[in-house]
Chains A and B, each alone.
Chain A
Amino acid sequence: MNKPIPNSLRTLPDDRGRFGEFGGRFVAETLMPLILELEAAYEAAKDDPDFMREFQYYLQHYVGRPSPLWFAERLTKQLGGAKVYFKRDELNHTGAHKINNCIGQILLAKRMGKTRIIAETGAGQHGVATATVAALFGLPCIVYMGATDVERQQPNVFRMKLLGAEVRPVTSGAATLKDAMNEALRDWVANVRDTFYIIGTAAGPHPYPAMVRDFQSVIGVEARAQMMEAEGRLPDAAIAAIGGGSNAIGLFHAFLDDQVKLIGVEAAGRGLESGEHAASLARGRPGVLHGNRTYLLQDDDGQILEAHSISAGLDYPGIGPEHSYLHDIGRVEYVSVTDDEALAAFQLCCRTEGIIPALEPAHALAHVAKIAPTMDPDKIILMNLCGRGDKDIFTVARHLGEQI
């Protein structure tokens, strides 16, 4: 890292919910009192040992944490460079990192006396995780999901139904994650008094970006300790895929003050030049959407553009505000990977490690496959394998031209 860090980067946001110029609370007045109430409740919970003990209890006994750190030996040999480790958050209950945050938020909902849960979902992983905790705590749950995503993520739609949640398809816009989030916010405005909105990514109005990060930071905290145990030192690079950015910030946060290169991988879709991608940092500019100021894909008039990615979980025209900040100060390097590169990495992972990854971490793996061969064998890469790919096999089959 070239730039010195005068103070810790792990203390943000400030009391206005800002990470530098990003973040904030850009919501309608109807929601503002709720946002402030949520912030106060979260601040109190965070400092309450009983709350944190309960959170840890569910992470250990229900989610199955800590997730293992896996040395991907065959992959390392095949790539012929740096040693590659996977943080295996795909082994969590429900198959992705999303459940970490959902446990935290539903415990907070219960503490605040809320009786109805809503959520938005893209790939369906966050929807499944929310439906799961809602079932566990016996609360009614409504999940907003873009109609396009309902179509391409049928297995997860059915899972949510089995778990007792109501999935409401959203047909506005391109009918993907952005539109699902709009609709969830509309529901919340109409049902402010009894409803808790479990946001799935490290974005939205303050305190969500900080709260989601805190609940997900268990990923990096565990990985840091496991890395020390396995190798006696920290990795040279830590890599994660980014849609809104919750798994990435969850991994990165523990390493922000360390001499570890951090790399976030955005979805380049059909290529950055095609205009059909989800690379908010590479091709967007700062603006305000969904309650926070952050990098957004937008046109010259400030209208929000539709994102594209083969991965429904990365198909979002914005990014969490902390990532925008870490990008601007140069602490994290953000790169992008196309649909085709992610598909190739997906198959590589299946065949070399016997792990079917989700298409989201397949983006991270595609970048690992690019840089590992350029690094010495004594270097170490840590990658967040944040979800498993069972949900994606239909999409992948279609792209490979196979019928299942």
Chain B
Amino acid sequence: MSRIAATFARLRDEGRAGLIPFVEAFDPDRETSATLLAGMAARGADLIEIGMPFTDPMADGPTIQQAGRRALRAGATLAGTLGLVRDFRAVNDTVPLILMGYLNPILSYGVERFTADAAAAGVDGVIVVDLPTEEADLLLPHLRHHRIDLIRLVAPTTTDERLPVVLNDSSGFVYYVSITGITGTRTASAEDLARDIPRLRKATDMPIAVGFGVRTPAQAATVAKFADAAVVASALIDKLAAGLDAEGKAPPAIVEAVLDDVTALAAAVRGERRAA
């Protein structure tokens, strides 16, 4: 069983939803993102999403755009991001890691080389924002060969007729983009989720994670009522960015503060019994 499947099976047994915090690789430098990865796993992250920096993140709001720019200035590359994964896997063999980013750096690295290296490093899933189902054949056979899940995005604009198309051949879990908008801006309400998540459940048996606009423990708890996992990204990056010193470095206290937020978010999803 893959790490992702094992994790969601365990969450089901525990009768709760999971927490998926996000780290932008190399933001503001390699060491900080490595510390955050290890710390998040220790503070109750059930899965972790790692952002692969890109110059033109079209679906991301200002927070992740700036995180990407800091990371690229710090020398982030796709090879460097895979190195972070490798180091994490040397000490943690259970928490699933999901890479999230855009297609061009993967194409540039080489699709087959990327999937082989990602599998060897210990990547469990990949989310490629600008690779809709219609173009997924570019990546899917390679990922499947190396047993990496291609996590599909579903949006509020995805119609009922389109859901089977998007979910065809998908594995791992479904990532529900809960708002029409870019990351870190609006937030879906409990009413929105109560309407949207059952719509997805009708179309799939796979676990559903909800992201885009989940910021606070209270919002994470709301998501945990309806879905199988909550993704929190921009709020954690905002906390980190606000605490950077004059040289753009992250002092230990601010890394600790970000991890305290992870602790609070993890407690919030654990406090919420699943409605289903």
Seen from chain A, the residues whose Cβ lies within 8 Å of a Cβ on chain B are 16, 24-34, 172-173, 178-179, 182, 185-186, 189-193, 286-291, 296, 298, 300-304
User: Does B235 sit at the interface, judged by CB under 8 A?
Assistant: no
Kindly report which residue of chain B lies nearest to residue A16, judged by CB atoms. Answer: B134
Interface of A is mostly: mixed
Do B104 and A296 have beta carbons less than 8 Å apart? yes
- The 10 A-B residue pairs with the shortest CB-CB distance in the complex, in nearest-first order: A302-B108, A302-B105, A30-B155, A190-B181, A29-B153, A302-B104, A301-B77, A32-B132, A304-B55, A26-B130
B-side contacts of A33, CB under 8 Å: 155, 157-159, 162
A sample of 16 more A-B contacts (CB under 8 A), given A29-B152, A192-B180, is A16-B134, A24-B135, A26-B131, A26-B135, A28-B132, A29-B132, A29-B155, A32-B157, A186-B58, A186-B59, A186-B61, A288-B104, A290-B56, A290-B58, A291-B130, A302-B106
Kindly report which residue of chain B lies nearest to residue A305, judged by CB atoms. Answer: B55
Seen from chain B, the residues whose Cβ lies within 8 Å of a Cβ on chain A are 54-59, 61, 65, 72, 77-79, 102-109, 129-135, 152-159, 162, 166, 177, 180-182, 185-186
A-side contacts of B105, CB under 8 Å: 301-303
Q: How far is the CB of B103 from chain A (nearest CB, A)?
A: 5
Do B157 and A34 have beta carbons less than 8 Å apart? yes
A121–B61 Cα gap in the complex (Å)?
20
Can you list 21 A-B contacts (CB < 8 A)?
Answer: A24-B135, A25-B134, A26-B103, A26-B132, A26-B135, A27-B130, A28-B129, A29-B153, A32-B158, A33-B157, A186-B182, A190-B181, A191-B180, A192-B157, A288-B103, A288-B107, A289-B56, A303-B54, A303-B55, A303-B105, A304-B104
Q: How far is the CB of B58 from chain A (nearest CB, A)?
A: 5
B-side contacts of A186, CB under 8 Å: 58-59, 61, 182
Query: Given A182-B56, A288-B103, is A30 in contact with B130 using a C-beta cutoff of 8 Å?
Result: no
Query: Given A185-B58, A288-B104, is A28 in contact with B130 using a C-beta cutoff of 8 Å?
Result: yes
Query: Given A25-B134, A288-B130, A304-B56, is A30 in contact with B180 using a C-beta cutoff of 8 Å?
Result: yes
Contact with B56, one of A16, A27, A29, A173 (Cβ below 8 angstroms): A173
A-side contacts of B154, CB under 8 Å: 29
B-side contacts of A29, CB under 8 Å: 132-133, 152-155, 157-158, 166, 177
